[in-house]
Amino acid sequence: MSSSFPDIASKLSSIAKDFHGRGWLLGTSGNLSAVVSREPLHLAMSPSGVDKGELTPDQILLIDEHGLVVSDKPTKPSDESPIHVRIAKARGAGAVLHTHSIWNTILSEHFGADGGIAIEGFEMLKGLQGVRTHEHREWLPIIENSQDMPALADRIGDTLKKHEHVHGFLLRRHGLYSWGQDLRQAKRHVEILEFLLEVLGRTLMISNRQKV
């Protein structure tokens, strides 16, 4: 929790490499951040437009609560930095991870008109912070995508307020955001949600129906 910037940067690089290998961060998509200090709020964050399979610790930026770069590096932060900051504040999250996977992209559209996906009855859910039983019903909200970042951040803020206990959300035809107290927990949440989305997606193939 009280990790130093170099340590956090190294972990972000390691997670990026792992997720890129799984196909969750292809084509420089996705971004990763972790809180370095609360007051003032500073986040270590992956830069924009970088191959996540080759992200090195020294490429990690330090940004402030406005998403502006604190460190004097030549790269710029992701356009989605405000979303990371918003989640870090609204949830007290210590880390925020954003992935573009095949299945989160497909299901964000498939269930888009429903406004979210209900995931229920899986043991895997117990890996989500605070969940004690597989009988838990997790709601994964789906938010319409937009290039208007402040508007999108507000929409996300509203969703987080409305759904206090969610562990992530989908942006439609865009990707998954999840978070945790620290990078370890955030990584765990991403793996769990990606796993469950793939289970739902492949179940649709077998059941041969439009909705589960």
16 CB-near residues (< 8 Å, 6+ apart)? 25, 32, 46, 52, 53, 55
* Of residues 135 and 154, the one with the C-beta less far from a second copy: 135
Instruction: Kindly state the helix (H) or strand (E) to which residue 9 belongs, with its residue range.
Output: helix 5-21
157 or 201: whose CB is closer to a second copy?
201
- Considering only 2, 40, 164, 210, the residue that binds a second copy (CB under 8 A) is 210
Q: With binding defined as CB under 8 A, does residue 198 bind a second copy? A: yes
Question: Which of 62, 110, 116, 176 touches a second copy (CB under 8 A)?
Answer: 110
Complex with a second copy: residue 89 or 136, whichever CB lies closer: 136
x-or-dash string of contact with a second copy, 117-156, rule CB under 8 A: ----xxxx--x----xxxx---------x-x---------
CB of 115 to a second copy, least distance (A): 18
Three-state SS letters, 143-170: ECCCCCHHHHHHHHHHHHHHCCCCCEEE
**Phi-psi group of 12: left, alpha or beta (phi > 0 → left; psi -120 to 50 → alpha; rest → beta):** alpha
Q: Is 78 in the site for a second copy (CB under 8 A)?
A: no
Closest-CA residue to 59 (of 25, 95, 32): 32
**Phi and psi torsions of 146, nearest 5°:** -160, 155
CB–CB of 212/110 below 8 Å? no
Question: By the criterion CB under 8 A, which residues form the site for a second copy?
Answer: 18, 22-23, 26-29, 51, 53, 100, 102-103, 105-106, 109-110, 121-124, 127, 132-135, 145, 147, 171, 173-175, 184, 187-189, 191-192, 194-195, 198-199, 201-208, 210
